[in-house]
């Protein structure tokens, strides 16, 4: 395995700034916070550049740093603001399943998607729709979903970051997925392959 070398830190913004900004914006949904996280990432990388071992690409190394910055942001944010339960959090809380675990009606169940899911995932339009749908979620639901599905963290890690119980996390993920499903069904009609 050939070891990678770091480029000149003066080039990092041009080489990786947009990529890291999109990464942070997709997860935080806030331009100002995403910009701050990118700056913090570059500062941390500059301070740690002598410890870079070259086992991954420069971009992968920077992505790992920003991932930790985002998790720290979620951790701090979950402790600084009180949890607010509003009508929006309770919307759709009725159980759509019967006692056998099947959908109560075909109207509440997921619509059948046509086409190859892997091809749909590769399309920019899908990611644009997903980004819009994530933006419509309450922040805590979006954070829980992003940490679980995009960053692939374990439930235990997410519970620590968001300061919630495993049961609460399960409810949050269920609500986030249900809302995203509905939003994707409504907004992705043109994404059929």
The pLDDT assigned to 164 comes to 93
The pLDDT assigned to 63 comes to 94
- The CATH class of the 113-191 domain is mainly alpha
What are the CB-based long-range contacts (under 8 Å, 24+) for 100-106?
none
Residues of each domain in the chain carrying CATH 1.10.1740.10: 9-80
Convert the pLDDT of each residue in 30-86 to its tens digit: 899 999 999 999 999 999 998 888 888 999 999 999 999 999 998 888 887 555 544
Find tokens 């099947």 and name the residue.
102
Q: Give the DSSP per-residue string, 34-68.
A: HHHHHHHHHHHHHHHGGG--SSS-HHHHHHHHHHH
Which comes out higher in pLDDT, residue 178 or 92?
Answer: 178
User: What mean pLDDT comes out for the span 16-36?
Assistant: 92
Closest CA to 83 of 171, 177, 170, 164: 164
Question: Would you place residue 167 in the very low, low, confident or very high pLDDT band (cuts 50, 70, 90)?
Answer: very high
Convert the pLDDT of each residue in 73-130 to its tens digit: 988 888 875 555 443 444 445 666 666 656 566 555 556 656 655 555 566 787 788 8
Tokens of 188: 């992705």
Alpha-carbon distance 158 to 165, whole Å?
9
CATH classification code of 9-80: 1.10.1740.10
Q: How many CA atoms are closer than 13 Å to the CA of 128, on its beta-carbon side?
A: 7
Residues of each domain in the chain carrying CATH 1.10.10.10: 113-191
Kindly report which listed range (26-30, 94-98, 169-173) carries the lowest average pLDDT score: 94-98
If DSSP codes are grouped into helix, strand and coil, which group holds residue 191? helix
Contacts of 154 (CB under 8 A, 6+ apart): none
The partner residues of 97 in beta bridges, in order of sequence, read 103
């Amino acid at each position: 395995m050939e070891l990678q070398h770091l480029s000149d830190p003066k080039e990092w913004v041009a080489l990786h700034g947009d990529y890291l900004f999109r990464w942070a914006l997709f997860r935080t949904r806030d331009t100002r916070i995403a910009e701050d996280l990118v700056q913090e990432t570059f500062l941390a990388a500059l301070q740690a550049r002598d410890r870079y071992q070259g086992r991954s690409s420069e971009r992968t190394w920077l992505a790992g740093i920003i991932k930790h910055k985002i998790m720290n942001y979620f951790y701090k944010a979950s402790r600084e603001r009180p949890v607010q339960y509003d009508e929006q959090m309770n919307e759709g809380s009725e159980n759509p399943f019967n006692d056998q675990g099947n959908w109560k009606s075909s109207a509440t169940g997921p619509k059948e998607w046509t086409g190859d899911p892997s091809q749909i995932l590769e399309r920019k339009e899908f990611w644009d729709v997903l980004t819009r749908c994530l933006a419509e979620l309450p922040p805590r639901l979006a954070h829980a979903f992003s940490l679980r599905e995009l960053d692939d963290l374990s439930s235990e890690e997410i519970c620590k970051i968001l300061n919630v119980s495993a049961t609460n996390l399960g409810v949050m993920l269920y609500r986030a997925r249900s809302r995203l499903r509905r939003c994707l069904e409504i907004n992705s009609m043109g994404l059929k392959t």
